[in-house]
Amino acid sequence: MTDSAHRWMMTAVGAPMSRTAFEPRAPEPGEATVAISGCGVCHTDLGFLYDGVRCNHDLPLTLGHEISGRVMAVGAGAEAWAGQAVIVAAVIPCGECDLCKRGRGTICRAQKMPGNDIHGGFASHITVPVNGLCAVDEARLDARGMTLADLSVMADAVTTPYQAALQAGVKAGSLAVVIGVGGVGGYAVQVANALGATVVAVDVDDAKLEAIAEYGAAKVFNAGEIGGRELKKAVGAFAKAQGLPATEWFIFECSGAAAGQQAAYGLLVHGATLSVVGFTMDKVELRLSNLMAFHARALGNWGCTPELYPDALELILDGKIQVLPFVEQHPLDDINDVFAAAHAHELKRRAILVPTH
C-alpha cells in the first residue's frame, strides 16, 4: 500500500502544489486508513490556495475535504470497517465533548476537517476517525451508473445544503430560493426539491440556470438581468401564481459572493429564513433591522454532522439527487491545471481528482 502513497502539498498562497511521497500514518484505535478513490475540488479549496483564507494547519498542507474511498487498514475497535467503501465526512466532530453529546457537533472545538485541520484528500491515502465515515452500498451505487469516485462530492457539496435545509425547516409546500446554483447551490436546489419545496434558482450564468431547470428548479432568474426589489417582486409574483405562501420563504445563499449575499438579504419577507451556505472574504453592508421588521431569521451552516450522511446518501441512491450531470473526473496529477481552470471559471462541472494507486 505504501509504495505508491503520495499527496499534493500546498506550500504557499498562490504557489503550485507539489507531489510528495509519504508513509500513511498507521490507524490508532477508532481510526481507519482509507485508499482514496476521488476528492472533489471545492470553492473553499480555491479560497485557501488563491485568496489567502487561513488554514488551521500550518503549511505545507494537503487540501481537499470531499473524499470517497475504501478502508485499507483499521485500528483497534474499528475492525467492522475493514474493506468498506466509504465517504469521509468533510467535518469530523470528536464525538466525546459536551457540544457533540448535545447534538452540536458542527461547532465541536476538537473537530477535524480534512484539508484544513489535518492533511486532506488530494492524496492517495488518508487516516481519519471512523466516526467520520459513512458506509456506501456499492451495488446500489453501481445500479445508478456511478463510481465511488463520483460520490466524493457528497461530502460537502450535497451534505452541507442537506443539513442547511433540515436546519431551516424546509418541508412540502415551502418556497425555497437558492442564490448561486453552481456547485453547492445546484445540490441545494435538488435537496429542497426532494424535501417537497418549490424551488426558485437565481444566478448570473444562463448555462447554470438552464442546467438546474432540468433538476429541480421550477423557476429561474438571471440576477444580471433582474435584481433588487424587482427580483423580489418577480419571486413574489411566481409564488402567487403557484399558490405558494407570500411569507416564510426559505432563502439559501450559496454563491459565496458579496453580490449574492446582498441579493439573498434583499429577498427577506415576513417570517423568512435566510441560510448562509456560501463563503466569501468580502464584506457587505446590510440593514440588520430588516430581520426585526420581518420577524425573520438568519442562520449559518458549517458542514454537516456525520450522522446525517446516510440520509443524504439515500437521496442519491434513490435518484432524488443527481450527481453525474454535474461532475467530471480528472487525474490527481493534473491538480495544478484543474485548480487554475476552476479558479478561472473555465470548468462547467465540479472537478473530482482521482489518484493512481
Q: Can you give the CATH number for the domain in which 183 is found?
A: 3.40.50.720
In a domain, 241, yes or no: yes
Is residue 43 within 8 Å of 140, Cβ to Cβ?
no
Range of 247's domain?
Answer: 158-300
Same domain assignment for residues 136 and 206? no
**What are the b/e assignments for 169-194, b being 16+ CB within 10 Å?**
ebeeebbbbbbbbbbbbbbbbbbbbb
In a domain, 308, yes or no: no
Same domain assignment for residues 127 and 248? no
Same domain assignment for residues 70 and 185? no
- At residue 23, the pLDDT reads 95
pLDDT tens-digit readout, 129-162 = 999 999 999 999 999 999 999 999 999 999 999 9
Same domain assignment for residues 202 and 173? yes
Longest CA–CA separation in the chain, Å: 63
Same domain assignment for residues 163 and 281? yes
- At residue 318, the pLDDT reads 97
Question: Residue 254 burial (CB < 10 Å; 0-12/13-18/19+)?
Answer: buried
How many structural domains does the chain have? Answer: 2
- pTM, two decimals, is 0.96
Same domain assignment for residues 21 and 137? yes
Q: Is the pLDDT of residue 1 over 50?
A: no
In a domain, 306, yes or no: no
Same domain assignment for residues 209 and 296? yes
pLDDT tens-digit readout, 277-322 = 999 989 999 999 999 999 999 999 999 999 999 999 999 999 999 9
In a domain, 310, yes or no: no
Same domain assignment for residues 276 and 343? no
Same domain assignment for residues 165 and 278? yes
Same domain assignment for residues 162 and 140? no
Same domain assignment for residues 135 and 19? yes
Same domain assignment for residues 84 and 208? no
CATH code at position 67: 3.90.180.10
Distance CA 345, CA 131 (A): 35
In a domain, 251, yes or no: yes
Mean pLDDT of 175-198: 97
Residues 6+ apart with CB under 8 A from 348: 207, 328
Of 307, 329, 332, 319, the closest CA to residue 153 belongs to 329
- At residue 3, the pLDDT reads 55
In a domain, 113, yes or no: yes
pLDDT category at 178 given cuts 50, 70, 90 is very high
> Rounded to the nearest 5°, which phi and psi values hold at 99?
-60, -45
pLDDT tens-digit readout, 4-28 = 899 999 999 999 999 999 999 999 9
pLDDT tens-digit readout, 82-130 = 999 999 999 999 999 999 999 999 999 999 999 999 999 999 999 999 9
In a domain, 153, yes or no: no
In a domain, 204, yes or no: yes
Average per-residue pLDDT in the chain? Answer: 96
